[in-house]
Structure 1
Amino acid sequence: MNDPSVTSAWRAPVRLVAGPDYPPIGGRRSPRWPRWRMLLIQAGLLLLIGLTAAGTQYLRNTRGLPEAYAIPLAIGSTLPAAVALRRPLLAWRICYPLLYLGVVDLTPTEAWPWQPVQILGFLFVFGVLAVRADTGVATWAGLLSLIPLYVFTETTANAHGVTVLITAMLVLGDQIRRRRQTQRALVEQAEQSELEKARRAVLEERTRIAREMHDVVAHHMSMIAVQAETAPYRLDALPDPARTEFTAIAGSARQALADMRRLLGVLRSESTGPETAPQPGLADIPELVENARRAGMTVVLAGTPQPVDGTAPPEAVGLAAYRIVQEALANAARHAPGAAVRVALHAAAEAITVRVDNDSTAGPTGTPGRGTGHGLTGMRERARLLGGTFTAGPQNGGFTVEARLPYDGEDESG
């Protein structure tokens, strides 16, 4: 017979007596927590010292115990409360033997067999254990704690009243512990969901980038193949080794193009048809800005999409810049409707810098939308895959997106 409930029932008392303690409660702390923590520790130490002195005085005056016995017994009554929050099982293990040792020289005038400080300390420790410990462990602690109660308490009504109190503490502590576990599980599930959404957004954006990069690179591979195939006919008196080399180059280009198309077939989802339109670039950004204006946005374009020396940037850089501006304009329209937007392009000899700023919402022209939160992830991935940098965040009451896209795939600006 191997019943899990029976096994758990027998493991609970073993852990209560000699098992590992429960770890301290973690969680997010306020930035001011270190200062408050020191104040609470100091106040707690003063309170424990005062209670220890009061317990010692009670044992000496009421029971006539010598200091050599009264002081250790009073310290044993308050010490568990000092460690209960971090080591609840250890605190209970210290408290429980003192329930038997604390009845020494009991006088007939005392209503309870334990001094008041010891009773308060034990109830505090048991309350912490009821909240922190598993149901089985806390239940066994309550049952064992009732034994000295009925042994040393002469009034049965008092014993029954404390039994009801301990039972109520067990039930309340169990409910608090279960609720905290549920809240912790919900927080962890929410964090896992956010991580999964972010991971899925990265994968989806990488797939889209791979498809677009395929279209860019495929154009150049096709040109290489065509030029290599027509070179023997365009150039006169080519030697046979040169013709053979041009044929090999054309074959390699065709093979690479076929492999890229097979890769695109794997990356493209079943619901997405083939993309036959040419990919946009830097030259299409002015038209993109004009479309945003026609949609009702106030957009200003500054700078030129072409470097000063007239060198055309790589198509991959132009595509990334276009997509970043496109997503930034969409975010501005969604989250800051009515705000003025400024698109700045600075094309240098080694990199192009794209910056999109929007002011705070100009007025009640719309309600800020709630997006998926994946737009920034996609823009960051595009810049990172090109070896560039990307920053985004609030600035001057609005929002700023800035990306630096190097032409050679290595950003040496910082």
Structure 2
Amino acid sequence: MSDRDEARPGAPAPAGGPRAPMRFTAVLRTPARAAEPLFAQAPKAWQRMLPYVVVGVFVVSLLPTTITVLTNEYGAGGGWAGALGVTQTVPLLLAVTRPLPAWMLVLAADTIGSVVLIHADEVAGHAWPWTPMSIVGYLLLVICLGLRESVRTLIGVWLVTGAVGVVLGFFEPAGVTTTSALLFVLGGAFLAVTGALRGLGDAQQRIAEQESISEAERARRTLLEERARIARELHDVVAHHMSVITVQADSAPYRLPGMPEPVQEEFAAIAASARESLGEMRRLLTVLRSDRANGGDGGGGAAPGGAGELAPQPGIGRIQQLVEATVRAGQPVELSLAAGAAQAASPAVDLSAYRIVQEALANVVRHAPGAETRVSVTHDAAEVLVLVVNGPAARDAARALESSGTGHGLVGMQERVRLTGGTLDTGPLPDGGFRVAARLPLDHPTEDAS
């Protein structure tokens, strides 16, 4: 059987959550919808607001700076400087939700600005065709594109940027510092880095989704396997009683001579019905065993047809032996077993109580070696109470055999308790231990677990 799902008994809680780089790349996942903002899937509000704040700061800073530099440094007219400042910076506000349209507007504005600056009075000795302010704004836009668009789109943006720079180079004024190659190189580097980060975030998301699907499938498979195992065990329990009924009904005319003919016929009908029921159960068990032979041993039992399947099923009377074996393995266990509990329990409750104690002790050995453990099995007129409580792992004990669990062990416990109509309560204790408490009614009709 597998581990507990709530907590690992006797061990400290895991650190929780992925490492910082993984959390960062998860924030960079591509938005699911076209107009969804960047970082829209971030877990915290300040992370979702961060793109708006950054873009807003850049726009507020670049707008007056662009107008001032174009007017004072390049000698452009005030009207042209104002128009270029607005058209080159304000579209950046779209970068958070629609970076591709924003890129088209900014590239067009920067290209027009380069043409206008050809005739500026003081363009010589300054950067051209891309001014320092336009390069900063363009790189901000490139970052937003890299975090959102596909690789094909990013390559297209990069090539168009280079092509526009090459075309403008044919009209280069004398004495300027060419910035076409600078923007082409920086733009490509920013696109590559942000695109890679975005791709890593998408990959992390797909891995998380696949792990979630796989875990759900494993839980479902474990549930079905445990039900099949319970069905096989119930067959062994019920088949014994049905066999007794058949033998008693067949032998009644010989044990009770002088029985009237109608009564003999009634006993014969009872024996025939019992034999038919046994045949149906054997056919069902054959299907279950063949499924396990094809798909592996899902319930942890013996091989099909092996001696383990033909042996009598354990019950409350075998818990003493189970505890003794656990003690011999080095686990300190104290047992309190009420007299008459095995006789009071039905076969299903008897078997379920044993399996619950077995799984609980197995988990203590796995996760809390050396922990003080108490096992108690009591009963009253209405129910059997199974209680397994362990403390934290002993400090001088060997390291836990397993550090995490999938929760499949609890699936089996829950199925067995549900089979009898009982309740199961499990969970960690304040001192670092773990508790398993099951209440199994004595008179509840069992369900068909097959």
TM range (shorter): 0.7 to 0.9
Hey, what's the Cα distance between the residues in 2 that align with 1:170 and 1:35? 25
Counterpart residue number, 1:278: 312
Any idea what the Cα deviations from partners look like across 1:212-248, whole Å, max 9, x if unmatched?
Answer: 1111111122222223323444456655444333322
Q: 1 CA distance for matches of 2:259 and 2:226?
A: 47
Pair 1:363-2:395 in alignment:
yes
Secondary structure of residue in 1 paired with 2:435: strand
Is 314-323 or 264-273 further displaced after alignment?
A: 264-273
In 2, the alpha carbon distance for the partners of 1:127 and 1:165 equals: 11
Higher relative contact order (CA 8 A, sep 6+): 2
- Measure the CA separation in 2 of the matches of 1:96 and 1:241: 103
The CA deviation string for residues 113-162 of structure 1, in whole angstroms up to 9 with x for no partner, is 55654432321222332343222221112222334333445268421232
1:263 paired residue among 274, 284, 291: 284
Corresponding position: 1:146 with 2:181: no
Question: Aligned pair 1:227/2:237, yes or no?
Answer: no
Q: Secondary structure at the match of 2:354?
A: helix
- Aligned position for 1:73: 87
Please name the residue that 1:244 is paired with: 265
2:331 to 297, 300, 308: 297
Give the unaligned 5+ runs of structure 2. 1-32, 294-302
1:320-375 CA-to-partner distances (Å, cap 9, x unmatched) read 11011011111112221111001122423333232211111122221210287432
Per the normalisation by structure 1, the TM-score is: 0.78
Q: Give the alignment of 1:86-165 within 5 angstroms.
A: 86-103=97-114, 105-106=116-117, 107=120, 108-109=122-123, 111-113=127-129, 116-152=132-168, 154=172, 157-165=178-186
Aligned length: 385
Render the CA deviation track for 1:175-224: whole Å, top value 9, x for unaligned. 44454454445444444444444344333322322211111111122222
Give the distance between the partners of 1:253 and 1:410, measured in 2 at CA. Answer: 19
User: Which of 64, 68, 73 is the matching residue for 2:78?
Assistant: 64
In the TM superposition, what is the alpha-carbon distance from 1:388 to its structure 2 partner? 3.0
Q: What is the rounded CA distance, in whole Å, between the counterparts of 2:53 and 2:445 in structure 1?
A: 58
In structure 1, stretches of 5+ residues that fail to align are: 1-19
Contact 2:114/2:128 (8 A) holds in 1? no
Q: Which one-letter code corresponds to 2:78 in the other structure?
A: G
User: In the TM superposition, what is the alpha-carbon distance from 1:60 to its structure 2 partner?
Assistant: 6.8
- CA distance in 2 between partners of 1:189 and 1:142 (Å): 33
The yes-or-no answer on 1:204 pairing with 2:239 is: no
Question: For the residues of structure 1 that align with 2:256 and 2:224, how far apart are their CA atoms?
Answer: 46
Deviation at 1:264, TM superposition (A): 1.6
The answer on whether the counterparts of 2:39 and 2:51 sit within 8 Å (CA) in structure 1 is no
Please say if residues 127 and 177 of structure 2, whose CA atoms lie closer than 8 Å, have aligned partners that are also in contact: no
User: Counterpart of 2:439?
Assistant: 404
Cα separation, 1, equivalents of 2:110 and 2:88: 12
Please give the secondary structure, in 1, of the residue aligned with 2:280.
Answer: helix
- Contact kept, 8 Å, 1:355 with 1:400, in 2: the verdict is yes
Specify the code of the residue in structure 2 equivalent to 1:78.
L
**Whole-angstrom distance in 2 between the partners of 1:200 and 1:300:** 34
For 1:132, what is the secondary structure of its paired residue? coil
TM-score, normalised via structure 2 length: 0.72
> What amino acid is aligned across from residue 375 of structure 1 in structure 2?
G
